[in-house]
Chain A
Amino acid sequence: MINELDQSAQLGGANQQIVQAMADKVFAAAHSHAVYGEPVVSGNYTVITASEVSSGGGAGGGGGFGPVPQEPSPEAEAAEARSPESNAGGSGVGMGGGAFGRPVAVVIIGPDGVEVKPVFDATKIGLAFATMLGAMLMMLGRMRRAS
């Protein structure tokens, strides 16, 4: 019985470590290094990239179980000792997560001063524009049919 509890505690501890490691990785996105890149020097210019980052994750754990302990008796203890396969146990942990990053701007430090150049994501805007246009055309079509 003590052995089972030890195993369960070890598994639980291992699960906790895995979940903690994942949480550390998720919350690492809150560090400034996640948003601003390392400065790149080229000639008289120093360039720093600035990105938007988001990350998320979740985890769930299980536990261990074993046979319901019987009334303590020398016979029961002897039976348990004879058949170690009756010792049950187990643990489980599941987790999932993801991260996303998108460049927002480039900070250029040069002899003329500091300049922030925005990064324009044409694909995103194109998709948003096409969706808007589609929705408008659908609405116009409905209006025509209704009138």
Chain B
Amino acid sequence: MMMEANDIFQVQQVIGDSVQVGDMMVTPQSEALIVRLPFGGLVWHRPTAVLVEQAGQVSRIPIVDVTRLLQWTLLGLSALAFMATFWIRSSRRKETLS
């Protein structure tokens, strides 16, 4: 009955149905994180790229989640500001003691 980690966590590369427009064939790609538990589960699924096939050439156009990127940037900036404040405070204390 014990579930292995591979059974619980799965990362799947999902390829969607291709769309033919003129001489272009567009295939969407996405990535899904699946967590399967005996009493439930969780799925997180995000688009990653579109593959464009035209005249025998295939190009990959990535899909960038700008909102998520900005959120992480702001979080990083907050962490940096917190660390800087902590560092300034501790250096000031050292100065006062010496």
Contact = CB atoms under 8 A, between A and B. Distances in A.
A59 interface: yes
A17 to B, nearest CB: 16
Contacts of B45: 29-30, 34-35, 52-54
Interface stretch (A5-13, A77-85, A110-118): A110-118
Nearest to B67: A121
Q: For chain A, which range describes its interface: under 10, 10 to 19, 20 to 34, or 35 or more residues?
A: 35 or more
B14 interface: yes
Interface in B1-55: 12, 14-17, 19, 21-22, 24, 26, 28, 30, 32, 34, 36-37, 39-47, 50, 52, 54
B66 interface: yes
B67 A116 contact: no
A86 interface: no
A124 B16 CA distance: 28
A140 to B, nearest CB: 8
Given A30-B14, A116-B50, A135 B78 contact: yes
A109 B41 contact: no
Given A50-B47, A125-B67, A139-B82, A132 B41 contact: no
B19 A109 contact: yes
Nearest to A46: B21
B19 A120 contact: no
B97 interface: no
B78 A132 contact: yes
Given A26-B42, A125-B67, 9 more contacts: A27-B34, A39-B19, A52-B68, A58-B41, A104-B47, A107-B28, A124-B67, A132-B78, A146-B89
22 contacts: A23-B41, A27-B34, A29-B45, A32-B14, A33-B16, A36-B28, A39-B19, A46-B21, A50-B30, A50-B63, A51-B47, A52-B65, A54-B44, A57-B40, A59-B39, A102-B67, A104-B63, A104-B65, A113-B52, A114-B61, A125-B70, A125-B71
